[in-house]
């Protein structure tokens, strides 16, 4: 498996990947991924979006989205893994990739939004140094109309990088 920046020639494989994502998971893209123009825009070079690819098949996607204004030092990470490939460490690898990408973007903090009942996803992010920062009751309305709680987890990229620098592991 290779994790790399999403490129324009990945669009057909990305469209196949997105077609296999369950409706409930599509909520977290925050964009209409059924629109080919949206997928084409994702594939433009320069965007902070990456894919996990194995033999030309997209297994997972990660995006790092810098926030604006007074939160311009914060980035939001969005990770989705093909349902048939979950539980194999792909989400963890993509999330680690996002943390490294955040350094290149000059971000000091990362956040991720997770439906509060997704315990395995929360545990994975916590194992990467994210911690719960907010619980928003009935904040997500899924495609069936059901209201669900949303948990926001945060990671201090600055503190993690400072720890690496303190022991000399920031040299690359």
Q: Where does 2-166 sit in CATH, by number?
A: 3.40.630.30
The torsion angle over the Cα atoms of residues 132, 133, 138 and 143, rounded to 10 degrees, is -70
Query: How far out from the chain centre does Cα 106 lie?
Result: 17
Burial class (CB in 10 A: 0-12, 13-18, 19+), 5: middle
**Distance in angstroms (rounded) separating the CA atoms of residues 148 and 138:** 5
Predicted confidence (pLDDT) per residue in 67-89, tens digit: 999 999 999 999 999 999 999 99
In the sheet that 147-156 helps form, which strands lie side by side, from edge to edge? 2-5, 49-54, 57-66, 74-81, 109-115, 147-156, 131-141
Residue-level pLDDT at 36: 82
Q: Are 62 and 53 a contacting pair, CB within 8 Å?
A: no
pTM of the predicted structure, to 2 decimals: 0.87
Q: Which two tokens stand for residue 46?
A: 């320069």
Per-residue pLDDT in tens (0 to 9) along the chain, 172 residues: 999 998 888 889 998 999 888 877 776 677 888 888 888 888 775 568 999 999 999 999 999 999 999 999 999 999 999 999 999 999 999 999 999 999 889 999 999 999 999 999 999 999 999 999 999 999 988 778 899 999 999 999 877 665 554 455 555 5
DSSP string, 32-54: -TTSHHHHHHHTSTTSSEEEEEE
Residue 77: CB atoms within 10 Å: 25
Helical (H) or strand (E) element with 112: strand 109-115
Q: Which two tokens stand for residue 172?
A: 């690359």
Domain positions in the chain are 2-166
Query: How far out from the chain centre does Cα 58 lie?
Result: 15
Residue-level pLDDT at 33: 83
User: CB within 8 A of 84, min separation 6: which ones?
Assistant: 20
Q: Are 155 and 128 a contacting pair, CB within 8 Å?
A: yes
């Amino acid at each position: 498996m290779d994790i790399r920046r999403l490129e324009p020639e990945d669009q057909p494989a990305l469209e196949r990947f997105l077609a296999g994502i369950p409706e409930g998971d599509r909520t977290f893209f925050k964009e209409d991924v059924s629109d080919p123009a949206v997928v084409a825009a994702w594939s433009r070079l320069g965007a902070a979006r990456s894919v996990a690819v194995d033999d030309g098949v997209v297994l997972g996607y990660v995006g790092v989205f810098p926030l604006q204004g007074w939160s311009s030092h914060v980035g939001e990470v969005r990770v989705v893994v093909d349902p048939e490939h979950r539980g194999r460490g792909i989400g963890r690898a993509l999330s680690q990739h996002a943390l490294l990408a955040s350094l290149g973007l000059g971000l000091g903090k990362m956040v991720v939004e997770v439906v509060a009942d997704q315990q395995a996803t929360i545990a994975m992010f916590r194992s990467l140094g994210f911690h719960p920062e907010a619980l928003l009751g009935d904040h997500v309305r899924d495609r069936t109309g059901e209201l669900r709680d949303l948990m926001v987890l945060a990671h201090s990229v600055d503190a993690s990088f400072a720890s690496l620098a303190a022991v000399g592991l920031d040299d690359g």
